[in-house]
Structure 1
Amino acid sequence: MTINATAPSGAQPGNARQTDSYVITIANQKGGVGKTMLTLSLAAHTVAAHGRALVVDVDPQANAHDITMVMQQPGYDVMHELDPRALTAIRQLRNYDTILVDCPGSLEGHDVLAEVLARTTYAIIPYDHEPESILPTLRTVERVKAAGVPYAVVVTKADPRLGADHIIDAWTTLEGAGVQHFRSAIRLYRAWPNSLRAGVPITRWNERYAPRLREDIAALHTELLLDLGRRAPKGDE
């Protein structure tokens, strides 16, 4: 699918950018860890923060694309692109601050992941701290590190009823494996699926716990930007 087939954001392009867009890849070789939730939430938050975002869905299931297409004014654009090599041209588009790539969630997608990582600025690896998730997460980390891409793991789907203990245990597990992680975590609230059911981005969804989910996403977004800033070459400042 070409860029002309994206969902309309309603935003007017600003002045031509001087550099390529950031390409933020959200990947884990384990399905069900919250990749699409993270991708779409970060895209919506980018727009709420007056940025311009494009979601590139490289998963054959096209969940990120299909969810966005039925949303009421998502604010960001989306495209379904099964050839990750197209990211080379896509990242040179001047209308976006951030391009978020939603990857397939299976070991069969390792060739796709390699192509995406070759065009990635930074990788976010969601991890739900379930027993069946740790080994796929570690394998994903190794692939990202081998590609020389900066990364960090983020704990997702954390049960708020468990307080901080679950998150701290996840961080301890990651640190024991020598894995870098964000200090932010994404808690699991029904506000996310409820907002999707209503076709409203989480940034505009009114529900009891929706503000807490927005706080989590905002904290992660801030950490991401700070890390990107620390890694920027001096000549780009």
Structure 2
Amino acid sequence: MGKIIAIANQKGGVGKTTTTVNLAASLGVLEQKVLLIDADPQANATSGLGIDVEGVEYGTYQLLEHTISAKEAVIKTSSPNVDIIPAHIDLVAIEIELVDKEEREYMLKKALKDIKDNYDYILIDCAPSLGLITLNSLVAADAVIIPIQCEYFALEGLGKLLNTIKGVQKIHNKELDIEGLLLTMYDSRLRLSNQVVEEVKKHFENMVFKSIIQRNVRLSEAPSYGESIIKYDATSRGAENYISLANEILKKNKK
């Protein structure tokens, strides 16, 4: 039975998409069968895995509308063991279209029922907002990873996200768990980076992943080639960091 993990934070630029794409690729090379769902209208996870966004015929939009089945929306990627349900800019409209629907928060959960057992992990790249698409992702998920960048306003907005998660747990998804807080964009030379790490660990202790994602030029170059860091430069520090995170998650979820 696949584990569904949403990667969420309503702050933009914290490394959500980078994490979703590279964690998927890392789990894939560790021989896990992975499905990535791009639930962000910017569709960066889709292009980051080399899929032409303009050419996307079916994706998350149709999946949420229930006009196609999850199986029909799946595309194979060039990353070993990684499939994707892509996004397109038309996903923006889904928030408005779902507003009047009954059980609108459960659209994604229902759509994934058929294929959950086909994968070891299903990763959802959430939009940088707490709108209806992100809510659907949290309702469908078993757990959530929260990336936090090692910068000045790191903890700003985190309380709001944790309250949203609590609300989802209370009303829609009692099983929702926090998989962990992931520190991203860490630069060991900066005092501020180290202060943020200390601060987050002090407040959240066991919730923080041991793996930390460091600032890495190769990591920021990879998406422009439509490749994960594993494919673009497997020897880079960025690749090491994400393989380490994937191993940590596998260890935590040993069945």
Q: TM-score, normalized by length of structure 2? A: 0.71
Name the CA distance, whole Å, in 2 between partners of 1:139 and 1:178: 15
Partner residue, 1:155: 183
Cα deviations across residues 157-192 of structure 1 (Å, max 9, x unaligned)? 112434xx6554223322444472112110010111
Q: Which amino acid aligns with 2:186?
A: A
What is the aligned counterpart of 1:105 among 109, 125, 128? 128
Percentage of pairs with the same residue: 27
Instruction: Determine helix, strand or coil for the equivalent of 2:213.
Output: strand
Partner residue, 1:203: 230
Maintained 8 Å contact 1:72/1:199: no
Name the CA distance, whole Å, in 2 between partners of 1:91 and 1:173: 39
Question: How does 1:79-118 map onto structure 2 within 5 Å?
Answer: 79-80=85-86, 82=91, 85-93=107-115, 94-106=117-129, 109-118=130-139
How far apart are residue 136 of structure 1 and its match? 1.6
Could you say if the C-alpha distance between residues 184 and 91 of structure 1 is closer, same or farther in structure 2, counting changes exceeding 3 Å? Answer: farther
What is the aligned counterpart of 1:74 among 73, 79, 85? 79
Name the CA distance, whole Å, in 1 between partners of 2:236 and 2:113: 31
Maintained 8 Å contact 1:22/1:91: no
Question: How does 1:2-151 map onto structure 2 within 5 Å?
Answer: 19=1, 21-68=2-49, 69-70=51-52, 73-75=78-80, 76-80=82-86, 82=91, 85-93=107-115, 94-106=117-129, 109-148=130-169, 149-151=176-178
How far apart are residue 132 of structure 1 and its match? 2.9
Higher relative contact order (CA 8 A, sep 6+): 2
Question: How does 1:183-202 map onto structure 2 within 5 Å?
Answer: 183-202=210-229
Q: Where does structure 2 lack aligned partners over 5 or more consecutive residues?
A: 53-75, 95-105, 170-175
Instruction: Determine helix, strand or coil for the equivalent of 2:185.
Output: strand
How far apart are residue 95 of structure 1 and its match? 2.8
Could you say if the C-alpha distance between residues 214 and 206 of structure 1 is closer, same or farther in structure 2, counting changes exceeding 3 Å? Answer: closer
Maintained 8 Å contact 1:26/1:123: yes
Instruction: Determine helix, strand or coil for the equivalent of 1:127.
Output: strand
Q: Which amino acid aligns with 1:172?
A: E
Could you say if the C-alpha distance between residues 127 and 44 of structure 1 is closer, same or farther in structure 2, counting changes exceeding 3 Å? Answer: same
Q: Where does structure 1 lack aligned partners over 5 or more consecutive residues?
A: 1-18, 230-236
Q: Which amino acid aligns with 1:34?
A: G
Question: How does 1:175-186 map onto structure 2 within 5 Å?
Answer: 175-178=201-204, 180-186=207-213
Name the CA distance, whole Å, in 2 between partners of 1:56 and 1:196: 17
Maintained 8 Å contact 2:187/2:214: yes
Q: Which amino acid aligns with 2:83?
A: D
CA RMSD of superposed structures (Å):
2.6
Instruction: Determine helix, strand or coil for the equivalent of 2:210.
Output: strand
Maintained 8 Å contact 2:188/2:194: no
Could you say if the C-alpha distance between residues 22 and 44 of structure 1 is closer, same or farther in structure 2, counting changes exceeding 3 Å? Answer: same
Q: Give the length in aligned residue pairs.
A: 205
